Amino acid sequence: MYGKGLRSLSISTIAVMTAALALVFFYAPLEAEQGFLQKIFYVHVPLAIVALCGFVAGGIMAIQHLRTRDPSWDMRSYVAIHMSLIFGVGTLITGSIWAKGSWGHWWVWDEPTLVSFLIVFLLYATYQPLRFAIEDPERQARYASVFAITAGAFVPLNFIAVRLSTAYVHPRVLGGTSNLPGPMALTFVVSLIGIALLYVTLCKYELTAKHARAQLRALRRRLTADDAATPPVRRSRSAAPTTLHPAAMMTARVTGKEGL
Amino acid sequence: MGVALADLPALPLHEAGKYVAAAYVVLFALVLIYVAIMAIRLSRIERELGELLELSENTVASAPPDRELAGQGSTPL
């Protein structure tokens, strides 16, 4: 179910990422002030934008979960936040490298954009400990959704606050691609699409893997239940548990007919 | 191929080159680590599938004949 379209998505991700790298190194002109170092911009900024959008998307999926009580939305929200955290790590590391090359320091505490991103990242770093501290699965999903919505709302507010308050030291990107020369803007947009596609592809991989594991667990439960000492008539094929996932039901049907 | 490469602009890999390379290596490493984790998960799923296959084969082998008959009489899934 989750694996549908994964192959074409993976191929398009590889194609766009390759195109983006080619544009970065062989098409985009060197920036006058920073020179070659500015090439980090094409990986750092898309990573940051995609990570922040992923946090917000996780919040929106959490709203869907609370509205519908469908656990698949909770799973999507969890995966979106999990992947955004990984992209957030990438943003922080590439940002530090850029800062070192550009300003001579790995981290600058009086730069509001850097510090605000770190605050958002640390906020979301508490998501998983909070989630897995709760044992009851239903409560866990509900509390995680509330957290994801609250933190998701904090992300744009934080972004706007920083924009309104700061000195213009950090390069402005969102809404500012028109300031970039044409080849640079094109390269940036292709890089952004490539990183966004990478995010979606990895999320889909994660969801597919989790779904496959859930199906396996359901199948194992069914097989071990079948193995228990139940009367032969009750162990017939019609006694399949109704709570089994449709895909697991399909697997079970194959098992019944052909013994896998 | 060599001529085409010679026509490409030379990359100024002097002072800034190491920082740019490091930044792109970070992205590559993140993806690579993720792929490695997915490979471990895939092998675990494969192992579990093997166990389930074994379990189902044992179940079928140890099933008494009347159970098979009861199974045939029920509604197919």
In a shared domain, residues A246 and A158: no
Would the pTM count as exceeding 0.80? no
- Compute how many other C-beta atoms are within 10 angstroms of the C-beta atom of residue A6: 14
Mean confidence (pLDDT) of chain A = 82
In a shared domain, residues A164 and A231: no
**CB of B28 within 8 Å of any CB in chain A?**
no
DSSP B16-60: THHHHHHHHHHHHHHHHHHHHHHHHHHHHHHHHHHHHHHHHHHHH
Residue A2 lies in a domain: no
**Residue contact A30–B8, C-beta within 8 A:** no
Residue A103: give the domain boundaries: 30-180
pLDDT in tens, A160-197: 877 777 655 555 555 555 577 888 899 999 999 999 99
pLDDT in tens, A189-243: 999 999 999 999 999 999 999 988 888 888 888 888 776 655 544 444 434 443 3
Residue A10 lies in a domain: no
Residue A238 lies in a domain: yes
Listed residues A152, A180, A208: the one ending a domain: A180
Q: How many domains does chain A have?
A: 2
**Could you give the count of Cα atoms lying within 13 Å of A61 in the half-sphere of its Cβ?**
19
In a shared domain, residues A175 and A46: yes
Residue A193 lies in a domain: no
**CB of A253 within 8 Å of any CB in chain B?**
yes
Query: ipTM more than 0.90?
Result: no
Q: CB burial class (10 A; 0-12, 13-18, 19+) of residue A87?
A: buried
Per cent of chain A over pLDDT 70 is 81
**Residue contact B27–A39, C-beta within 8 A:** no
Residue B54 pLDDT: 87
Residue A6 lies in a domain: no
CA dist., res. A1 & res. A216, Å (int) = 14
- Residue pair A65/A143 in contact (Cβ under 8 Å)? The answer is no
Q: How many angstroms separate the CA of residue B39 from the nearest CA in chain A?
A: 10
pLDDT band at residue B73 using 50, 70 and 90 as cut-offs: very low
CA dist., res. A54 & res. A203, Å (int) = 10
| Phi, psi dihedrals of residue A31, rounded to the nearest 5° | -75, 145
